[in-house]
Amino acid sequence: MNHPIIQVEPLTTARALRGPFDYVRPDERVDVGSLLEVPFGRQRLTAVVTGLTDESEHKLVSPLKVLPDALPADLVDLGMWLAHEYASTPARALSLMLPPRGAREKTRLWAEATAAADEDGVRLTERQCALLDTLPRFTESDLGALRRLEARGLVRISKEGVRRAPQHHAVGARKPPPKLNADQLAALDELIGAARAPQADGPQRFLVHGVTGSGKTEVYLRAAADTLQRGRGVLILVPEIGLTPQMIDRFVTRFGDTVAVLHSKLSAGERYDEWRRLRSGEAQVCVGPRSAVFAPIAHLGLVVVDEEHDGSYKNEGDPRYDARLVAARRAAQHGAVLVAGSATPRPESVHELKTITLPRRVDGSGMPPVEIVDLKDTNGPVHPRTHEALVDARKAIVLLNRRGWSNFLTCRSCGHVWECPQCDVALILHRDQHAVACHHCGHREPIPEKCTKCGSVSIARHGSGTERLEHDLAGLGKPVLRLDADIKDAGAVLRAFEHAERAILIGTQVVAKGHDFPDVDLGVVLDADSTLRFPDFRAEERTFALVTQLAGRAGRGGDGKVIVQTIDPTASAIRFAAEHDSDGFLAEELERRRFLRYPPFSTLIRVVCASEQPGAALFAAAEIQARLPQSLGPAPLFRLRGKERAQVVVKAAERRSAIDQVDAAVREVSAVKANKNVNFSVDVDPQ
Ligand code: ADP
Ligand code: ZN
Ligand code: ZN
């Protein structure tokens, strides 16, 4: 056998254990991407074959089992790259690419009569004749009789796979696609031209910058059709799926069964079957959120990242990958065209991608006027101007980025603040749930009746969240609906709002995403400062996006307006958004970032140390800081889930070497005995 040894990554989460490890290659079918079960120390672990070789210095053992469903080699390659790019381990990165687990292929038996059954002289009982007549349908109780006929060569019984197909919301009738307008045609031409250009021209990466309703999705659909015609696959990434079923529906309606969807709402069986349909080439289009970037599509020709500004593309757990960067890498691996689309693109994308603009809405309507309301001398969260507009509006969307009833509770007598016992943050009152809760760790306790410090029963509630606002606006004479993470069935709320004659929809950022409501005539940002004051270099970008996205949802029919409440009416992110001046905002923002050396003009890497042991996190962070001369810190962070935390931030001009240096520093410091109770997390491009 060529290459009798396999190099294997056992899938363990331990940071210290790094492969590859050598094993005996059981047979030629085991190749790069094969999944195995291997003995590893005293454990049995799932493992991925990452390479083949001829020699090893070690005494080798054989794998215990070869599992079905191998990974394609390009995903193994992607996993190794991802581990390196995000200072994680190959094992953790490869774990992201595995076929959905906890399910197997579902099969059903299929039986048909053979030609021999029709020959003269075949002796059959009446029951057997009847059975043959009803094939291929039969019931479980007939199986014995069928097996006996099979033994006589009169029946063939075989297994066939059964697809567990996901339920789509509304697979509408196939309407003929609309005729593209001139802007869309120009955009499509550019994308198709790039797809057909020789690969030597380098990666073809585009930003489709178009206002909401400018027909971006229609352009993706056409580009996808062209890609399929050329015999290549298509990957479409979308933000959180629960709120964007429309995208899936449109792809399924246009392309039918060649579309596979991969998202967390599917059952294990459905996910598994969709994965296998992609792996086998039966499906060639995948639509899904962040994790769908690992869909096993062969010969990718087009990769689309829709709403590319959306924060959900960044993974929270290790490896803290950014699906937008991974998508670009996959496109480059396959020589596919990359398209990022948004009404509010990230400055990074404007800087790095070739921009195609769709400046107008397809229905010809303009963007609604935006009024800035100064909150400085108002009491309460709703300015009288806003109140008046809410009374007049037919359908309004009101955005407030805080869940719950109030932001925090204090004792009027002694000033005690109710805090989470696990985290250094205030507990938030949720009246509906009869509880105060921590929004960081999920801790909850009953609503206090008296002060735990002094026993006073006078407790003050400060600030207001969506729940209180829902209550306060109930007197305006129209139904008030609420949408935030406390609401279980977001789909039902959205449908109720869609079908209402008059209504107010209150919610956190989710209300500004995805869904299209043609008849919204008022959009309100109640507290634009909550994103703007956030201590983060992306605060401007987020605020601009929030106001612009909301404006995109309001006044689609022609008449509508947006109100933005702020204590700083001069803030440039708000001013640019009010003037619908994306280009102006992006130019100024890029200039600011260039000046301050923020991304895309540098790479940020954040290392967070966390420990239950007092002082340990800060100590470890100081050790890391000492090894990285260019880094800032260590800075203490608030305690989270019972762990003290501290961070070190690196701002580097040279991305690759900075990641390597951080990785080396973390490995060194984490290997020291004194730090054995410290968790280290590395975040490249933190959000
Ligand atoms: P975006 O993705 O930019 O928000 P869509 O592609 O969803 O825009 O288009 C908005 C709506 O307009 C959709 O209902 C779509 O079917 C329709 N549409 C798109 N392009 C055209 C066109 N050229 N003519 C008429 N209707 C169109
Ligand atoms: Zn008190
Ligand atoms: Zn907590």
Q: Which tens digits make up the pLDDT trace of 635-663?
A: 999 999 999 999 999 999 999 999 999 99
> In the prediction, which pLDDT does 200 show?
67
Whose C-alpha lies nearest to ligand 1, atom 5? 215
As a CATH number, domain 5-95 is 3.40.1440.60
What tokens were used for 575? 């001013």
Q: Is the CB of 552 under 6 A from ligand 1?
A: no
How far, in Å, from the CA of 426 to the mean position of ligand 3? 8
Query: What percentage of residues in the chain have a pLDDT greater than 90?
Result: 66
Ligand 1 pocket member 572 (CB < 6 A): no
In this prediction, residue 244 carries a pLDDT of: 60
Query: With bands split at pLDDT 50, 70 and 90, how would you rate the model's confidence at 174?
Result: low
Is 519 exposed, middle or buried (CB count within 10 Å of its CB: 0-12, 13-18, 19+)? Answer: middle
Mean local confidence (pLDDT), 293-309: 96
Residue 243's pLDDT is 57
pLDDT tens across 573-597, in order? 999 999 999 999 999 999 999 999 9
CATH topology of domain 182-358: Rossmann fold (3.40.50)
Q: What distance in angstroms lies between residue 463's CA and the mean position of ligand 2's atoms?
A: 19
Residue 367 clears pLDDT 80, i.e. is over it: yes
Residues 566/532, Cβ–Cβ less than 8 Å:
yes
Mean pLDDT, residues 320-336 = 96
Domain 603-684 of CATH type 3.30.70.600: yes
370-404+466-596 maps to which CATH number?
Answer: 3.40.50.300
Where is 547: in which H helix or E strand?
A: helix 539-553
Q: Taking the C-alpha atoms of 517, 520, 525 and 526 in order, what is their torsion angle to the nearest 10 degrees?
A: -120
Report which ligand 1 atom has the smallest distance to the Cα of 343. 3
Ligand 1 pocket residue status of 507, Cβ below 6 Å: no
Closest residue (by CA) to atom 19 of ligand 1?
215
Q: Return mean pLDDT, the chain.
A: 90
Instruction: Locate the domains of the chain by residue range.
Output: 5-95, 107-114+122-161, 182-358, 370-404+466-596, 408-462, 603-684
Torsion on CA atoms 539, 541, 542, 548, rounded to nearest 10: 140
Strand boundaries in 68-204, DSSP class E? 107-113, 155-161
For the residues 431-445, what does the mean pLDDT come to? Answer: 92
Which residue in this structure is represented by tokens 């507290």?
527
Find the ligand nearest to 638 CA. Answer: 3
Contact 199, 332 (CB under 8 A): no
d(CA 137, CA 269): 24
Per-residue pLDDT tens digits for 478-491? 999 999 888 888 88
Cβ 213 under 6 angstroms from ligand 1: yes
Ligand 1 atom with the shortest distance to the CA of 179: 23
When pLDDT is cut at 50, 70 and 90, the band that residue 668 belongs to is very high
Measured from the alpha carbon of residue 423, the closest ligand is 3
Interval between CA 438 and ligand 2 midpoint (Å): 20
Mean pLDDT of 127-153: 82
Return the best residue to mutate from 362, 365, 515, 582 for the ligand 1 pocket (most ligand atoms within 8 A of CB).
362
Our answer on whether the CB atom of 362 is closer than 6 Å to any ligand 1 atom is yes
| Sign for the pseudo-dihedral over CA of 509, 512, 514, 517 | positive
Domains 5-95 and 370-404+466-596 equal at CATH topology level: no
Give phi and psi for 491, each to the nearest 5.
-60, -40
Ligand 1 lined by 289 (C-beta under 6 Å) = no
Q: Is the CB of 178 under 6 A from ligand 1?
A: yes
- Which atom of ligand 1 sits closest to the CA of residue 246? 7
Is the CB of 681 inside a 6 Å radius of any atom of ligand 1? Answer: no
| Cα-to-centroid distance, 175 and ligand 1 (Å) | 13
The residue contributing the CA closest to ligand 1 atom 17 is 215
